[in-house]
Amino acid sequence: MLNFLQANLKKQYLCHYLKNTMRIDIITVSPELIKSPFEHSIIKRAIDKKLVEVHFHNLRDYAINAYGKIDDTPFGGGAGMVLMIEPIEKCISKLQKERDYDEIIYTTPDAKALNQQTANSLSLAENIIILTGHYKGVDQRVRDLFITKEISIGDYVLSGGELAAAVISDAIIRLIPGVIGDEMSALTDSFQDNLLAPEVYTRPANYKGNKVPDVLLSGNFKKIDIWRENNAIARTKRIRPDLLD
Ligand code: ADE
């Protein structure tokens, strides 16, 4: 946590002086499916403030023929279509000619699940590519030759990797210095220290007899901090004991 905080502050300093913007290139079969999460709220503001650039690349623009062919049946038989290596190679190598990439990520359910540590470390990158899986996946040689990191967003199968790419991008972008107004708030979220966030309350202090814990109304910030920490630990023990292992 401390290392991330230090690295995050260093990036904040460097970004400020070098004015470099993080860049995410998303390669997908369905650009329209993935654009909307980037057009609203915090992520849109981050893009407007030029703290991050997000570019979408339609894999069909790199098809192997005029009919837009990008996939084929699996060798050895079986259901579904597999994304071919040539269109992906063409797209990735075009991008790599333009700049260096820190990571080339592939979204797939058969990978380690995204967690806060991975989001933290990816938020320190300058340029990343996210290749979204589709159909039955990609030819294994794409994974062997080009991909530097494979990420799942959980143990369930989505109909494509686009939503996973949006989730990964959101988790990264909100950590970029300057994206969230109060810098510390992203760093004190659930999971930053392997604890769930404590409960929060707002007005009214008494809702039909359901009262806010007294300590939160006490104005004693030392006591409030202790209450929050104990509450976070108790919630984690109850809901996600695995995080405490
Ligand atoms: N593609 C399909 N399901 C996925 C998942 N759970 N995580 C990442 N990519 C996926």
Q: Is the pLDDT of residue 121 over 90?
A: yes
**How does pLDDT run across 148-174, given as a tens digit for each residue?**
999 999 999 999 999 999 999 999 999
* Pocket flag, ligand 1, residue 155 (CB < 6 Å): no
Q: Are residues 109 and 212 in the same domain?
A: no
Q: Which atom of ligand 1 is nearest to the CA of 156?
A: 6
Give the pLDDT confidence score for residue 13 in this predicted structure.
57
Average pLDDT of the chain? 93
Q: Are residues 163 and 230 in the same domain?
A: no
* Pocket flag, ligand 1, residue 157 (CB < 6 Å): yes
* Pocket flag, ligand 1, residue 137 (CB < 6 Å): no
In a domain, 6, yes or no: no
* Pocket flag, ligand 1, residue 156 (CB < 6 Å): yes
Q: Are residues 79 and 163 in the same domain?
A: yes
Domain that residue 54 falls in: 19-173
Q: At 216, which CATH number?
A: 1.10.1270.20
In a domain, 11, yes or no: no
191, 29, 192, 40: which is closest to 107 by C-alpha? 29
Give the pLDDT confidence score for residue 11 in this predicted structure.
65
Q: Are residues 202 and 107 in the same domain?
A: no
pTM over 0.85: yes
In a domain, 179, yes or no: no
The residue among 5 and 47 whose pLDDT is bigger is 47
Give the pLDDT confidence score for residue 1 in this predicted structure.
58
Q: Are residues 128 and 200 in the same domain?
A: no
Residue 85 to residue 226: CA distance in whole angstroms: 54
Residue 9 to residue 124: CA distance in whole angstroms: 10
Give the pLDDT confidence score for residue 98 in this predicted structure.
98
Residue 79 to residue 72: CA distance in whole angstroms: 11
Count up the domains in the chain and report the number: 2
* Pocket flag, ligand 1, residue 154 (CB < 6 Å): yes
Q: Are residues 111 and 214 in the same domain?
A: no
pLDDT confidence tier of residue 12, bands split at 50, 70 and 90? low
Q: At 151, which CATH number?
A: 3.40.1280.10
First and final CA of the chain: distance in angstroms?
A: 17
Nearest CA residue ID for atom 6, ligand 1? 109
Q: Is the pLDDT of residue 100 over 70?
A: yes
